[in-house]
Amino acid sequence: MEYIDKILSNYNNDKSYLISILQDMQDNAGYLKKEDLLELAKKLDLPIIDVYRVASFFRAFSLTPRGKNIIQICLGTACHVRGGDKVLDEFERNLKIQPSSTTKDGKFTLETVNCLGACALGPVVVVNSKYYGNVIPKDVPEILAKYE
């Protein structure tokens, strides 16, 4: 796994940079593959459970393939009371997937989050770092069409 060696060299094989190393690995492969985590643990002389604990703790990391477009629906209090759950229902209906899933064609991954830090704009949807505020269910097809 040559790409892991290259990433590790950027951090002088220092295990204290584990989070940054994992971020670079995920950027390279799109997600954290089991065999890559095993190889990383071996190269850093860490128990695999320690590597897996970090990889599974942070929501920024994915242990399964993700879609080309990541959709995050805020279900925090402000977004929820303004209809965030109905927006989520519409995304589920349009994409035919549940949260934490990816469409069969690999175009979309649907995720829910507890807060996106834009409460005044709730309900908020983020697609690939682009924020959409005051989203209502009828906006969903138009948002999706931008990423088809």
- Per-residue confidence (pLDDT) for residue 138, from 0 to 100: 98
Q: 108 forms bridges with which residues in the sheet?
A: 69
- Write the pLDDT tens digit of every residue in 50-88: 999 999 998 789 998 889 999 999 999 999 999 999 999
- Write the pLDDT tens digit of every residue in 54-63: 999 987 899 9
- Per-residue confidence (pLDDT) for residue 30, from 0 to 100: 84
Cβ pair 84, 72 in contact under 8 A: no
Q: State yes or no: pLDDT of 1 exceeds 80.
A: no
pTM assigned to the model: 0.76
Token pair 């940054």 is found at 20
- Per-residue confidence (pLDDT) for residue 148, from 0 to 100: 86
- Per-residue confidence (pLDDT) for residue 58, from 0 to 100: 87
- Per-residue confidence (pLDDT) for residue 29, from 0 to 100: 85
The Cβ of residue 126 has, within 10 Å, a number of other Cβ atoms equal to 17
Phi then psi for residue 115, to 5 deg, are -165, 140
β-pairing, 125-127 vs 69-74, is: antiparallel
Which of 25, 18, 23 lies closest to 46, judged by CA? 18
- Write the pLDDT tens digit of every residue in 92-146: 999 999 999 999 999 999 999 999 999 999 999 999 999 999 999 999 999 999 9
Q: In sequence order, which residues have a C-beta less than 8 Å from that of residue 17 and are 6 or more positions away?
A: 11
User: Residue type at 98?
Assistant: Q
